[in-house]
Amino acid sequence: MSSSAHPPGTQRPAAQRIGLFGGTFDPPHVGHLVTAVNVRHALDLDVVILMVNNVPWQKEGSRQITPAADRLAMVAAAVDDVAQLVTGRTEIDHGGHSFTADTLQTLAQEYPGAELFTIVGDDAAAGLHTWTRYDEVVQQSRLVVVDRPGDPVDLPDGVDWIRVEVPRLEVSSTDLRARFVDGRPLDYLVTEPVLDVIVQRGLYGARPDLAGADRS
Ligand code: ATP
Ligand code: MG
């Protein structure tokens, strides 16, 4: 949000502890939301930004990625009624490849003096050293890792992680996309407003009759 959104003479609300939770969110699911709200609570963050990657370079070429505008709409629907979770569009506005180091720089300018926290699942954390300018990510923010179900993942050495326990939900966007293909139910794995966006926009080849148990 630009500062012009605040009437003259008023200041933007101070948000001193900002969580950056980036992802492809293709689609966003309850694992993302449970993580975001629990990390927000555990670390007393003012806000957690679900930052929608524009072009997730590490996934490029491996599969078809849903257009950024559609993923943004799904995330907006997911966080719409959730206090202190917001949709981030910095990376989409920036265009091109998405790098967390750049995003943190933008956030540092938008929220001067704020303490930034980069939130990742342990699968993403394990690959931190492959991130572009990861040293900047480590310098500019505190790293927060949550465990996902499955075998424990080795975290890169020499990084000061904050580990936050959240309910481990064995749900992934990959599994959800597969569910769309073969018609298994999605109920309770994504929220209703997200399902509505998926159906309205015809994402994942969704058919209204597959999108929920009783949507009449
Ligand atoms: P995909 O299967 O397409 O990779 P995903 O479910 O892993 O999708 P991403 O958008 O890749 O979702 O993940 C964004 C962030 O959310 C990453 O840091 C990832 O580790 C984390 N994350 C994803 N699913 C969960 C989950 N169930 N519990 C905790 N963290 C999760
Ligand atoms: Mg993933």
- pLDDT, tens digit, for every residue of 130-153? 999 999 999 999 999 999 999 888
Residue type, 8: P
Indicate if the pLDDT at residue 109 is higher than 60. yes
Q: Is the peptide bond before 27 cis (omega within 30 degrees of 0)?
A: yes
Q: Considering only CA atoms, which residue is closest to atom 2 of ligand 1?
A: 174
- Comparing CA positions, the residue from 52, 62, 50, 48 lying closest to residue 26 is 52
- Delimit the domains of the chain by residue range: 17-210
- Comparing CA positions, the residue from 62, 25, 19, 67 lying closest to residue 164 is 19
Tell me if 94 sits within 8 A of 102, measured CB to CB: yes
Task: Name 200's Cβ contacts closer than 8 Å, sequence gap at least 6.
Answer: none
82-103: average pLDDT: 95
Report how far residue 88's alpha carbon sits from residue 33's, in angstroms, rounded to the nearest whole number: 14
Name the pLDDT band for 2 (thresholds 50, 70, 90): very low
Tell me what pLDDT residue 206 has. Answer: 62
Tokens in use for 70?
A: 């559609």
Name the pLDDT band for 205 (thresholds 50, 70, 90): confident
Phi, psi of 51 (to 5 degrees): -90, 115
pLDDT tens sequence across 31-40: 999 999 999 9
Q: Rounded to the nearest whole angstrom, what is the distance from the C-alpha of residue 74 to the centroid of ligand 1?
A: 15
Tell me what pLDDT residue 36 has. Answer: 98
Tell me what pLDDT residue 104 has. Answer: 98
CATH architecture classification, 17-210: 3-Layer(aba) Sandwich (3.40)
Report residues whose beta carbon is within 6 angstroms of any ligand 1 atom.
Answer: 23-26, 31-32, 35, 120-121, 123-124, 146, 148, 169, 171-174
Q: Considering only CA atoms, which residue is closest to atom 26 of ligand 1?
A: 31
Overall pTM surpassing 0.95 (yes/no) = no
Report how far residue 90's alpha carbon sits from residue 202's, in angstroms, rounded to the nearest whole number: 25
Tell me what pLDDT residue 9 has. Answer: 55
98-118: average pLDDT: 95
C-alpha 156 chain-centroid distance: 21
Name the pLDDT band for 10 (thresholds 50, 70, 90): low
Tokens in use for 17?
A: 């502890």
Indicate if the pLDDT at residue 13 is higher than 70. no
Residue type, 19: G
Residue type, 151: D
Name the pLDDT band for 12 (thresholds 50, 70, 90): low
Tell me what pLDDT residue 31 has. Answer: 98
User: Tokens 């309910």 — which residue?
Assistant: 167
User: Tokens 């159906």 — which residue?
Assistant: 199
